[in-house]
Amino acid sequence: MTTTLFDITFWFAAPFWALMVFAPGWSWTRRIASSPWIIAPPLVVYAILTVPQLDVLMPVVTRPTLEGLRDALAVPEVTAAAWAHFIAFDLFVGRWMYLDSRERRISPLVMAPLLVATILLGPLGAFGYLLVRAVYPRRPRTGDPDPAGTGDRDRATPTGEPAGPRTGAEAAALTRSRGLSGPEPAA
């Protein structure tokens, strides 16, 4: 059973990777990738493999040592569980990269190699995306209440442009209106 679970784990994730890499602009890709539940199948495999091996895993995760991890990974069920862990978390990170890149309008031609790198070498693909992401600012969508991406939704003008800086009195009034400070200052 362990070999079968190991073998099918990647195939549970492969369709989602294929959509994000080969059909990034398809409306169904975004709809499917928007659900965090796409990582559920590998997580179920992980649970099936991990729960019976808790006696082996708990010492490794509570008092990690290189030797302890090496010994635990020598157990086939633990190795298969680690594989399911990699697949699930790489998919979760790839999902975030895909959704974030669509919001930033990063070209699918830039994203495809980064997603493939994430499939194959997880953290290296994610690091590459963080570098690319630094070059592409968040772009507003139509009707975005926070077009500047500042988290300050109250400051957008009707045209979608961020408003200028607040005066001290404006900032104090907003803080009071949100119940974050004491009484109004005397006029």
Tens-place pLDDT, residues 4-60: 999 999 999 999 999 999 999 999 999 999 999 999 999 999 999 999 999 999 999
Which domain, by its residues, includes 122? 2-133
Residues with Cβ within 8 Å of 5's Cβ and at least 6 positions away in sequence, in order, are 45, 48, 49, 80, 84
Backbone conformation region of residue 160, classed left if phi is above 0, alpha if psi is from -120 to 50, else beta: left
Predicted pLDDT at 94: 97
* Burial of 39 from C-beta contacts in 10 A (0-12 / 13-18 / 19+): buried
Helices (H), the chain: 2-22, 27-33, 40-50, 54-62, 66-73, 76-104, 108-121, 123-133, 168-177
In a domain, 139, yes or no: no
Give me the DSSP letters along 110-126: HHHHHHHHHHHHTHHHH
In a domain, 76, yes or no: yes
User: pTM value?
Assistant: 0.72
In a domain, 46, yes or no: yes
End-to-end CA gap in the chain: 76
Assess whether 120 and 169 both reside in one domain.
Answer: no
More confident residue, 69 or 187: 69
More confident residue, 115 or 155: 115
**Amino acid at residue number 67:** E
Predicted pLDDT at 130: 97
**Out of 1-5, 22-26, 114-118, 154-158, which region has the weakest mean confidence (pLDDT)?**
154-158
Predicted pLDDT at 3: 94
CB 122 within 8 A of CB 90: yes
Assess whether 111 and 150 both reside in one domain.
Answer: no
143/176 Cα distance (integer angstroms): 27
